[in-house]
Structure 1
Amino acid sequence: MITLHHLNKSRSKRIIWLLEELGVEYQIKPYLRNSETFFAPPELKNIHPLGKSPVIEDDGLVISESGAITEYLIDKYGQGKFAPARGTNAYVEYSQWLHFAEGSAILPLLLKIFVAKDGCKTNFLADYADAEMLKILSYVEQCLEGKKYLVDEQLTGADIMMSMIVENLVATGAISNFSNLGRYAQQLASHDAFKKADQVEAEYS
């Protein structure tokens, strides 16, 4: 059975969604952030030296990093779903979006969170974060024109990876001026497995 080491309010919620979509048997080992520092508990380092989540255990393997976990689970359990066929142009597009979520897209979001938490006036960082955020939002908005999903008009691991970015944009209100992104957010949230991931996350928070 797959074990998901799940930290509340973290990237691992989207792995719950993927596991639910795949219909595989899994169990959750929950961890809670420190309520004051928001750091992960030290116990997570017993599973992986970085002490971060998500991490899964499956068939003796310990796998970290959301993108790697997503690729592994879809390759092993997807039965041809949730990713285009390898060697196709669609797979190349899929792979770019899969890595975009934790590459280009996450940086401005994190910078804005850090600037807000720091609470000090910055000489450069705040303006840079705003400019990068607008660039990312405009790019995704354009790419979603006339589309329900990122690739091949079907739910893939790329959409599941992007869901955390989209949920952050919804929560902060940053999505309000981007109609395609708003429609995309509603499309992702319409999946039963997405709703189940919400429920599971809430149980362990």
Structure 2
Amino acid sequence: MLTVHHLNQSRSQRVIWALEELSLPYEIVRYQREKSMLAPEALKKVHPLGKSPVVEDNGLVLAESGAILEYLQETYDPDGLLKPQEPTQKVQYRFWLHYAEGSLMPPLLMKLVFSSLGKPPVPFGLRTLGKALGKGVEKGWLNQQLETHARYIESHLASHSWFAGEHLSMADIQMSFPVFALLARGGIDNLPHTQAWKKKVEMRPAWQRAIQKGGPFTLPGE
């Protein structure tokens, strides 16, 4: 049976969602974030990087959510329910699978870091300077980067029901974490198609089951 090493409020939520969409049996091993919001040391016993998600399948240990989702699709989705077959859509599928972590997540993570420089655990005497530095970076560069990403995604979803065509695919599952984070942290208005996509995700029975099993899914800023 598949085992998901699941860290609360993390990328592993989308792996649980994928397993629910595929109706696969699995078990969850749960981990809670430390006060620092980092993963506990116990995860390093499963995989040297100590990150989540990690999936075990018949002795195989897999890390990195994109690689896990591709493995699940190739191994347990023979009918191609979660991968488009039309050539143009397959190109989009591959693009969004990689874009999610390669392009979109880095500025979102930077947004989280720079917006936290005026708060604990930053030493009290440095918080005023940290807050000013964070706001300066956000205003001078970071917010514009996120705006560019948000408008790009919004434009794509204006003409596509899902990220890789007319049906849900692993590309949508991979994009769920950064898009939810973008809507929560980005401070960007007028994204009706992106918001509509998010609502469609939240209405899916498999997503709802994943939330029930994986726990509440919220992100800082929501």
SS at match of 1:29: strand
Q: For residue 28 of structure 2, what is the aligned residue in structure 1?
A: 28
Using the alignment, how far apart are the partners of 1:192 and 1:167 within structure 2? 18
Pairing 1:134–2:133 present? no
Letter in 2 for 1:198: I
SS in 2 for 1:158: helix
The answer for the alignment partner of 1:122 in structure 2 is: 133
Question: Which TM-score applies when normalising by structure 2?
Answer: 0.86
TM-score using structure 1 length? 0.92
1:175–1:181: 8 Å Cα contact kept in structure 2?
no
* TM-superposed deviation, 1:170: 3.5
Match of residue 14 from structure 2: 14
In structure 2, what is the Cα distance between the partners aligned to 1:187 and 1:13? 17
SS in 2 for 1:4: strand
Residue type at the aligned position of 1:189: E
Matched, 1:100 2:99: yes
Gaps in structure 1 of 5+ consecutive residues:
none
Question: Aligned AA for 1:125?
Answer: V
Contact 1:30-1:204 within 8 A present in 2 as well: no
* Shift in Å, 1:204: 11
For 1:132 and 1:204, how far apart are their aligned partners in 2? 25
Structure 2 unaligned blocks of 5 or more: 119-129
Equivalenced residue count is 203
In structure 1, the partner of 2:211 is 198
Counterpart contact for 2:147–2:188, Cα < 8 Å: no
1:75 is aligned to 74
**Which has the higher Rg, Structure 1 or Structure 2?**
2
Find the counterpart in structure 2 of residue 45 from structure 1: 44
Work out the percentage of aligned pairs sharing the same amino acid.
Answer: 40
The answer for the alignment partner of 2:192 in structure 1 is: 179
1:92 and 1:204 map into 2 onto residues whose CA distance is 30
